[in-house]
Each structure stands twice: as structure tokens, then as C-alpha cells.
Amino acid sequence: MPKHALRRVMAATTVAVGALALGLTDATAQATPATLDYVALGDSYSAGSGVLPIDLTNLICLRSTANYPHVIADATGARLKDVTCGAARTADFAQAQYPGVAPQLDALSTGTDLVTLTIGGNDNNTFINAITACGTAGVLSGGQGSPCKDKYGTSFEDEIEANTYPALKAALRDVGARAPHARVAALGYPWITPATADPSCFLRLPVAAGDVPYLRDIQAHLNDAVRRAAEETGATYVDFSGVSDGHDACEAPGTRWIEPLLFGSNVVPVHPNALGERRMAEHTMSVLGLS
């Protein structure tokens, strides 16, 4: 072959190989998604309060390194910034919850890709007041009747509607403003009580038979407030009403996601255990299409 013809062949081959390599590089880049910048906000259900191991960098927030945000980050390879904190209210998104604990919204930026949160259960002290009031009434009544419902009626739900619901909307709008490019997931709370009373559960969750569905209705109202607030602010609502049914605090260890008030395995009662945090993570990833 003449030298000039050979040079032309070699040049063409070099161009073809370069184009092939460039094509492979582009395909690889497209096949490998960018790492998500993930910020976890929220209260003790997000923090995994009571689940070991404890995050030693911030003991006051009772945050676990096995909470659902860490499970999601481990599964997706996301860069996690976890500012969840036990006892957080919606107001603590914009203000310091404790000295030295920055407002949770400060963790967000225009570069945030994903935000998850549970919030609202501590507004008006809804969870603690309802559980304490109904537990006390249950003990005094020997588990009979509906003394808590008879005394408090719609007061818990009225507070949710009047105060928590608008606060949730405002908080989610603030999240969207701070992280305008992020996908925001507002999680509902997994069921604490069964739909109807389980007499064998009274020693662990001392709520009168008629107040078991009463407490569940209060939680359903709170979750519905979270759902409506999410839908009205462009966030994704992660509904646990179906998947957590049959995994309430009255179920046996290994089945329940929520620990009971008494004789549970967590130092923080009426909160998700390690299994519950894992299942919350898995369902959230399923709803969001994360892998």
C-alpha cells in the first residue's frame, strides 16, 4: 500500500476509535446518575429517637445513625445532611430548637436535590398529650369505655385543623423556597394503635377499648393534614396508612414498627424501632422511585 494511502487509513482509524471512546464515555456518564444532595429534616420519627446507635455528634437531638434518612442515603449513595431532631415542631424549621442547634431550614440550599421530613406531631403537643391523656384515662377506667374521647371530644382534631395544618403549609413553602430544585417528600406517621382494641395489649398500651379507635382517628386527621399541606405546596406525600397497618405498637416484636408505651425495646416509647425506620425508608424510596 502506498504511504499516503496508509496514512489516510491510520488517520481514519484514529478518528473512529476516538469517537467510539467519546461515545462510551458519554453513555457511561448518562448511565451513572449524579450523587443526590439529600437533606433530612423533621422530628423524632425522622431522627429515629430511641434507635441505636446514637449520633454522638448531637446528643441533644436523640438522633440515630440507623434512622430512615441514613437507610435511604446508604441505599442510594446520596450525600446526606441530617438535621432531624427529637421533639421538633414546625416552628423549629425557622428557629433554633435548642442553643447550638441551628434552624433546620439552614441546611437547605439551591443545590439540594432531595428533602424528606416528618413534622407536625409535636405541634400543640398532639402526640404526647393524646397518648398521656388517654393512657391515664385508660388506667383509671380499667380499660373500659372511652373516657378520653368523652372528656376531650374533638379538641385534638380541632387543634390540628386550626394550628398544625396551616403551620405545615407554611413550613413546606419555606422548604420549597430554600431548596427550589429539590424533590420534597413529606412522610405521614405509621400507625401507633390498631383499628380496634386488643385486650392483650392493655398492659403495654393502657388505653381504654373505646379510646383505641379514638386515638387512631386523631392520628388519621394529622396524617391527612400532612397530605393536604404536601399536595398544596407541591411536595410528595408518603402515605403509610396501608403499609403500616398490622405493624402498630400492639404487635409482637419483629412485626411491630412502633414500640408500645410500656415494656418496649426502645428508650423512647411510642416511636419507631429499627425495623420501623427501615420500613419507612423502603416505602419512601418506593414512592419516590429511588433505588
Residues involved in catalysis: 44, 271
Whole-angstrom distance, CA of residue 148 vs CA of residue 169: 29
Radius of gyration of the chain from its Cα atoms, rounded to whole angstroms = 25
Do strands 79-82 and 114-117 pair parallel, antiparallel, or not at all (unpaired)?
unpaired
Nearest C-alpha neighbor of 46 from the set 75, 103, 86: 86
Residue 71 grid cell: 437507610
Give the DSSP H/E element, type plus range, for residue 139.
helix 126-140
**C-alpha 1: how far from its chain's center?**
71
Q: Are 185 and 236 in contact (CB under 8 A)?
A: yes
Q: Are 288 and 72 in contact (CB under 8 A)?
A: no
